[in-house]
Amino acid sequence: MSTKDLPGLIGAAALLLAAGAATTHAAPATDHEWASPEFAEATVHDPSVIKVDDTYYVFGSHLAAAKSDDLMQWQQVADGANAANPLFDDVQTELRETFEWAQTDTLWAADVIQLEDGRFYMYYNASRGDSPRSAMGVAVADEIEGPYRNEGIFLRSGMWGQPSEDGTIYDARIHPNVVDPDAFFDAEGKLWMVYGSYSGGLFIFEMDPETGFPLPGQGYGKHLMGGNHSRIEAPYILYSPETQYYYLFTSFGGLSADGGYNVRVARSRQPDGPYFDAQGNNMAEVKSDPALPLFDDASIEPYAMKILGNHLFTRELGEDGEGLGTGYVSPGHNSAYYDDATGQYFLISHSRFPGTGERHNIRVNELLMNDADWPVAAPYRYADKAPQAQPGQRKVKRPDVVGDYKVILKDKTITADIETSRFATLTNNGRIQGDIEGRWWFGGNDRISVELSDGDYEGVLSYQWNETAERFDLTFSALSDAGLTLWGSRLPDRPTEAVLQAILDDIEFSSIPLQNDIDLPVSATRNATIEWASSAPQWIATDGQVNRPEHGLGDQVVTLRATVHYDGETQSREYPVTVREQAPDGLLAHYSFDGNLNDTTGQQAPGQVSGARIDWAGGQIDFVSGVSAEAAYFDGQSGVRLPGGLIASHRYSVSFWLNPSALNAFSTTFFGARNPDSWISFLPMGHGFVNGHTMLWSGTLWYDAGTGMNIPQDAWSHVAWVVDEGALSIYINGEERFSGAGFPHVFSEGTGIFSLGVNWWDLPYEGAMDELRVYEKPLSAAEVMELSQTP
């Protein structure tokens, strides 16, 4: 049997590395001990949940699916709308009519439900994307993992100038884009479907539980929310037997990392609405202003209850763990699940993450019902802890709540900005002091009430897994009548001296000599402050500005002194730091490939031959006639590993000659990486987004710099690119072929990995290379032209 909706700055210092402080902290104030959870990631955009026996499944866009027994360890089941996808025998053949109507080769957010006949009904949909030309249909399978067999299309949209499903001429301002379905049973056992995205908004109609198709005569159904192309989509309705409300979850904003996607909720006593927020606003009236440009967000921002959006619990100096902290970017297109055995609610969404571009994974957050009968999302991803499975077994006491917190207050703007954590103390006398001010009350039964200047918040206390600190921390999640969310995550109790010591322990400089300005932190955990002094401000100023010695003066050692102030006490520590002298004429390395892999400047180690991957042994590099004396020849099975840390700046240039024997998509010539998630690669033949043209691209923070041409096969071409604090220029044979801004800062810590002809994934380069030069300065156009004419 299955159940689905059944009633019942980021900104780490350029060379300042965060290292976990080796200090102790107080145990969570609870009677329970919980083991550290284990997670396994899977990728399903727009996940829609169904539980079959003891297994949770999520289905989403691009025919992706994953499963889990515990909502933490996910296993990928399927991905890609292609013949290899196991959910269909051949989806492109089976759903040919859908793809032809929608003018696409992929699918959008799918939803699966089990009906009374025991079979599984997949509501598939496809859209052109740049218009609401879409189709929705149903396919049926005997088993949850398929194969599914198409039963046919039952809704279409985007038929410009033609009669629509309700008989009137299609108008995208008032008619839906027929995507993002959610089928569910109401408390009376009736089957419904809610759907829609942008365009005319969200709609609902009643379904036939025997056929899985809509009951006849409903057209597009009843309008619930949105219109005039407002950025509202991904409806999902969950009934709570506890509150007897139907909760309509939606996503506002755009789904990309810079789109400001966020999850909001409204509620109704009836499955088909009307739905309201806590201020009594009817969601059917929430739509964009037709007098304003398309996708007007300002008109819709004030409405519905915002429970999840861009946020980051920033890891501050002196706190446990490593990295930036824990947070989400553009979380949304959620589904929700109620477990009638435990009384738990779950929010299942996809999310991107701070500093990682468009990479996304499934995320599950526990939903907790506050005293106003609104669901609030727990601040951290869900981690099972059996003692808290039953609400009555939670054992938060008032003294547990008193202490220091990282707090996040979410506003309702639709923006790419990330709400970062602030510091506050909940005092024993009910005051809130720090970066936010107010009062708090403990309500018993894990309830907390908060009064701030912008309103009153009703919330729930719970222990949640802090992924950065790797422990369960006491948290609260509260919601105001205005639909604003307040989160708190309690910090462990520490004596003042231990806090000061942890901050100083956490300051660590790379042993690699500095080439860039550094971000000397002036604040740390619990609003501690840091002052800096320098023994040689001519080389490193107290604001972190680095002035490198001229060539011939040698590297210079500078002593930086950090003084930390916290809670009326002070501690200091000194740190020796080396500043690298400038390279002669800015030239870091010159590999001429004249019978060897040596750097002719003598500053760098020789290149080392590798196999077909950057870290594989083997391989062979031969030397052939080049543009100047000899050149290195890559046989399509070999590469060259260059010295680590070759580039350690945001201002650099790379110049070399190429003579490809073959043009293969994705084959790299020059590759540099901070790690497998952050890299740059120069391709003679690029990917489809630049029409296969020669390109420089960057991974994770994706950047596609196409040149609009391909360098020729079996002929020499000079290539060069110049990076100047994010400004990028690419030259082919001395002619600028690309110019753009915002190129990622991949190399800043002096720990980069570099190779020629190979990376960690793709077919190696086949062809010759000559006269590789790497500069620690941006070359001028005239200097690039000279290199292209004088090997």
Tokens at 76, concatenated:
């990928």
Query: 102 φ, ψ to 5°?
Result: -80, -5
| 16-39: b (≥16 Cβ within 10 Å) or e | bebebbebebeebbbeeebeebeb
C-beta of residue 350 within 8 angstroms of C-beta of residue 59: no
d(CA 755, CA 775): 16
C-beta of residue 607 within 8 angstroms of C-beta of residue 641: yes
d(CA 779, CA 784): 6
DSSP single-letter state for residue 645: T
| 179-188: b (≥16 Cβ within 10 Å) or e | bbbbbbbbbe
Tokens at 331, concatenated:
């979380």
∠ CA 296-300-305 to the nearest 5 degrees? 150
Catalytic residues: 46, 233
d(CA 455, CA 452): 5
Q: Which of 688, 687, 634, 622 is nearest to 658 (CA)?
A: 634
DSSP single-letter state for residue 330: E
d(CA 335, CA 345): 11
Sign of CA dihedral 391, 392, 397, 398: positive
The continuous run of DSSP H or E covering 101 comes out as helix 96-102
d(CA 363, CA 469): 18
Pairing of β 311-314 and β 419-420: parallel
First to last CA, the chain: 72
d(CA 338, CA 199): 30
Q: Which of 120, 125, 113 is nearest to 145 (CA)?
A: 120
∠ CA 286-291-297 to the nearest 5 degrees? 45
d(CA 200, CA 275): 17
Q: Using only the alpha carbons of the chain, give its radius of gyration.
A: 29
C-alpha 304: how far from chain center: 24
For residue 623, count CB atoms less than 10 angstroms from its CB and return exposed for 0-12, middle for 13-18, buried for 19 or more: middle
Residues 6+ apart with CB under 8 A from 346: 49, 71, 336, 337, 338, 339, 364, 365, 366, 367, 382
* Peptide bond between residue 274 and the one before it cis (omega within 30 degrees of 0): yes
With tokens 């409903």, the residue in question is 218
DSSP notation for 29-86? SSS---PPP--B----SS-EEEEETTEEEEE-GGG-EEEESSSSB-EEEE-SSSTT-T
Q: Which amino acid type is present at position 777? A: K
C-beta of residue 193 within 8 angstroms of C-beta of residue 124: no
With tokens 């500069």, the residue in question is 775
For residue 629, count CB atoms less than 10 angstroms from its CB and return exposed for 0-12, middle for 13-18, buried for 19 or more: middle
d(CA 302, CA 511): 50
